[in-house]
Structure 1
Amino acid sequence: MTEIQTPRLLLRRWHDDDLVPMAEINSDPGVMRWVGDGSVRDLEQTAEAVERWEEEWDEEGFGLFAVELLASGELAGFTGLTLPEFLPEVMPEVSVCWRLGRQFWGQGYASEAAHAAVEFALQDRGLERLLGIARIGDTASENVMGKLGMTPQRETTHPEYGFPLRIHAIDLTEFQA
């Protein structure tokens, strides 16, 4: 089982009891504002997503980690590596992503978790480059990408929803672990 511990977080594979707290995160319009078309997701949709994330682990050797607070055991959300299949023009590159519940914003958890995911990509999976994809206007996500050392590469349009995206990247040979 793949687990990573940071000073405040445990990044781990998904458990059945993660579904309800993750569904609560996915049901918050503020959290989902920048995700896909911005619609919230219910328990069934969250369960389907977690199942896909676990399948990606099995198929690719990487995926999205559940992010747990060490101090309380609470599920804060997810971070990890994924194939951004929604954006065929960047395939087969790998992207780093995250989603945390609103109560966990502004405390450095996203940066801490994403940094660990980038280290995992470099040290454990031997990836040479990672993308970060953000909807233009999502400055919080772009700030995290900047903290990871990612730089904007280009802009494009979401193929399904038509809104503008900015693609960031980092050459992992330049990553400061």
Structure 2
Amino acid sequence: MPELRTDRLLLRRWRESDLEPWAAMNADPDVREHLGELLTREQSDAVVARMQAEFDERGFGWWALERRETGEFVGRAGLDVVDEGMPFTGVDVGWRLTRAAWGHGYATEAGLAALAFGFETLGLAEIIATTTVANVRSQAVMRRIGMSRDPASDFEDPSVPEGPLRHCVLYRTSRSAAGTMAP
């Protein structure tokens, strides 16, 4: 599993010590506001096991995020294959941070690193990102990392029950567009 380094972050393999803060994130109503119900410790641990297995299988996926200066776990970021049954296909970039890590630019920094890995290492032509219509913070990150939205591509997530989390937006960027972004 490759590691990625940015000025402030290390995107790395998951460690046993990440399980407790990851579970705390998934039990935080603020963090889960646009994601659905809170997760138990067992559910959170199972997510990590699945993320690690998928990364090992594909050579990419969700990295644990660590502040390089302190070694503190601050969330996850990375790339994932779009689930079957969605109205589009491709590879999705994303992030999820601890509440204390919000507002420091970590999602933008990690998102840019994941995009670079997707385009430069994996040779992807396009990468997408999705979130709920109401998640304006993540949409702002998507714009900051050079992604754009076509409202005609907005969609209803078939894996989510009826309600506000079902209405989603789709952002995209291409290798050629990312190549024009300043580092």
TM-score (norm 2): 0.91
Q: What stretches of structure 2 of length at least 5 have no aligned partner?
A: none
Q: Deviations for 1:56-80, whole angstroms, at most 9, x for unmatched residues?
A: 1122221001000011111000000
Partner residue of 1:27?
27
Q: Gapped runs of 5+ residues in structure 1?
A: none
**Equivalent pairs, count:** 174
Counterpart of 2:5? Answer: 5
Deviations 1:102-153 (A, max 9, x none): 0000010110011101011011111110010010010000000001111113
For the residue of structure 1 that corresponds to 2:161, the secondary structure is: coil
In 2, the alpha carbon distance for the partners of 1:142 and 1:14 equals 26
Structure 1 residue ranges, 4+ long, deviating more than 4 angstroms after superposition:
none
Match of 1:97 among 94, 109, 114: 94
Q: Amino acid of the residue matched to residue 168 of structure 1?
A: Y
Q: Does 1:156 align with 2:135?
A: no
Secondary structure in 2 matching 1:73: coil
CA distance in 2, matches of 1:51, 1:84: 18
Asked if the contact 2:34–2:132 (Cα under 8 Å) also holds between the matched residues in 1, the reply is yes
Between 1:52-61 and 1:100-109, the stretch displaced more is 52-61
How many angstroms apart in 2 are the aligned matches of 1:71 and 1:26?
A: 24
- 1:58 corresponds to which residue? 56
User: What's the offset of the Cα at 1:87?
Assistant: 5.0
Q: Distance in 2 between matches of 1:172 and 1:59?
A: 24
Give the distance between the partners of 2:67 and 2:6, measured in 1 at CA: 10
- In 1, the alpha carbon distance for the partners of 2:85 and 2:59 equals 20
Query: What residue in structure 2 maps to residue 45 of structure 1?
Result: 43
Partner of 1:84: 82
- Aligned AA for 2:63? F
TM-score of the two chains, using structure 1 as the length reference: 0.94
Give 3-state SS (helix, strand or coil) of 2:154's partner.
Answer: strand
**Do residues 143 (structure 1) and 158 (structure 2) align?**
no
Contact 2:86 2:157 in 1 (8 A): no
2:94 and 2:112 map into 1 onto residues whose CA distance is 10
